[in-house]
Structure 1
């Protein structure tokens, strides 16, 4: 199994960052992505536990079920459908208020289970997934800047 963790500081309130990351349609602002959609609403609120969302990046469709929801601190999801043979042990997105903004730590555990060479493919996929997570976090920051959600006098960026 491969662990991928990406960390970023976004100069916006934790609630705004949390809501943006959980909202499937927002993911359409990520380069090479289509707007996501909510397939099944969850509890509490539409993006809570049990929600199923679909995101499409780089032409690959993924369906994720929200398994834990603690707004605005953390949500977890499990990939229930994706292209290829992937074993997914879940992902967590932790959001913490820090001086000047919000720290996001996004972690996932997975492996490609496609026969010979799968361990090499898993490692290569980890590097791509890390870049993808960073792209999502950059898009969130850019959109929060555009919509005026950024905290004044601060700048975000990768840690």
Structure 2
């Protein structure tokens, strides 16, 4: 089995924590990210639509993901797990954490994954790691651009 790779991205967004958390946890906002073809809430969460138990789908030209929100603590933390993906992924954990800091909100995005193919999984995982990182960075740049004050 291929070892999991960890991707961590951090950025300070010049906006209040509640707005940043709201943008990053609402699947509809991902439609404004360049390269995202479709983003939607498939199943609402138990207590709030984007909260714990929610199933979200994001499709880009390079990959399609279905995520299950496993933890939701507004405005500080959302945890998720990818339950279906093309290309196939093994995903153990993902989280977005927000912390109010001078000048805005510090966002930390963390994900652990491996490409789950029978052939060349290790190589493909290494290839996909910078792609995943740049995808997270693009989402955070989009949030920064849309929320900056």
Q: Could you state the TM-score of these two structures normalised by the residue count of structure 2?
A: 0.93
Which residue is 2:144 aligned to? 141
From 11, 15, 33, the counterpart of 1:12: 15
Q: Could you state the TM-score of these two structures normalised by the residue count of structure 1?
A: 0.87
Tell whether the 8 Å contact from 1:49 to 1:69 is kept in structure 2 after alignment: yes
Alignment deviations for residues 51-75 of structure 1 (CA, whole Å, 9 cap, x no partner): 0111112252211110000000000
Superposed, which structure 2 residues align to 1:88-107 within 5 Å? 88-107=91-110
Moved over 6 A (4+): none
Structure 2 CA distance for aligned equivalents of residues 116 and 77 of structure 1: 27
Structure 2 CA distance for aligned equivalents of residues 35 and 125 of structure 1: 20
Superposed, which structure 2 residues align to 1:62-141 within 5 Å? 62-141=65-144
Unmatched 5+ residue regions in structure 2?
none
Say which SS state the counterpart of residue 135 (structure 1) adopts. helix
Aligned length: 146
Say which SS state the counterpart of residue 117 (structure 2) adopts. coil
